[in-house]
Amino acid sequence: MTARQPLIAPPRLLVCHLNKWLGAWPPHGRLQIVGSEARERPGWDGNVHALVGVDSPQGTVLSVPSAAVEAVRTLGDDLGSAAFGAGLAAALRRPGAVFGRGVLRWADAVADPGEPGVWLPASDPRVPEWLRPFNGDVLVLLDADGRYAAGVGRKLHDEFGHELAVGTEPGMRGRGLAQRLVAQAARRVLADGAVPTYLHDPSNAASARVAEAAGFADRGWSVYGLWDPPA
């Protein structure tokens, strides 16, 4: 688990989102393993995500299928150890899967960047392949010729929390487009009555800069997942 930072009460919508997404929030103790039906149902992308976890200054919740709770509890609380990751993959019947951590950010207010992008259905022919799996409208910036230049997808986890993901064409990078699009998308999520979240790899400095510039501060929170190994 990550180093603890000062406890700052999260916004109500984030608490509602985590309680529904994980099956419990806030955590009771340093590490709480909870069984949730959500870990047995298809998620935003149509796939079943057998493990989702969130770490905060309050503690950590790991959400797994109910049948796996006792097996996961026997693994202890050293989430950074190789033994924990291997044991988790075995307990969830995902041999070879990799247990890892990302940075979790959220925003409850963002600056108004204007509206550089346009909302389109994911099925629109101008939308690139990487944005098509998202289960909500996608935000796209088109160049002067009407071609895709950058975009943001929304993962509609539940009515309380929508996760944002951004991508920019290589030739359009370095212009602040990602930051402006993320801020525009976040304002849409807030207007819809949900909390916008943003996840990135801890080593991805460029993604961290985009998040900070768009109003997603690093509050010392993390997200945990179980991913298939590279093919």
CA proximity to 127, closest of 105, 156, 149: 149
Residues composing the chain: 231
Cα–Cα distance, 1 to 61 (Å, whole number): 11
Q: Which residues does 64 contact at the CB level (< 8 Å), separation at least 6? A: 33, 34, 35, 36, 39, 50, 51, 72, 91, 92
**Rg, the chain, Cα only:** 18
Q: Which CATH superfamily is domain 118-200+207-215 in?
A: Gcn5-related N-acetyltransferase (GNAT) (3.40.630.30)
Would you give per-residue pLDDT tens digits along the chain (231 residues)? 555 555 566 899 999 999 999 999 999 999 999 999 999 999 999 999 999 999 999 999 999 999 999 999 999 999 999 999 999 999 999 989 999 999 999 999 998 888 999 999 999 999 999 999 999 899 999 999 999 999 999 999 999 999 999 999 999 999 999 999 999 999 999 999 999 999 999 999 999 999 999 999 999 999 999 998 776
Q: What is the SS3 string spanning 1-16?
A: CCCCCCCCCCCHHHHH
For 60, phi then psi, to 5°, come to -125, 140
CB contact at 8 A, 137 and 151: no
Task: Give domain limits for the chain.
Answer: 12-107, 118-200+207-215
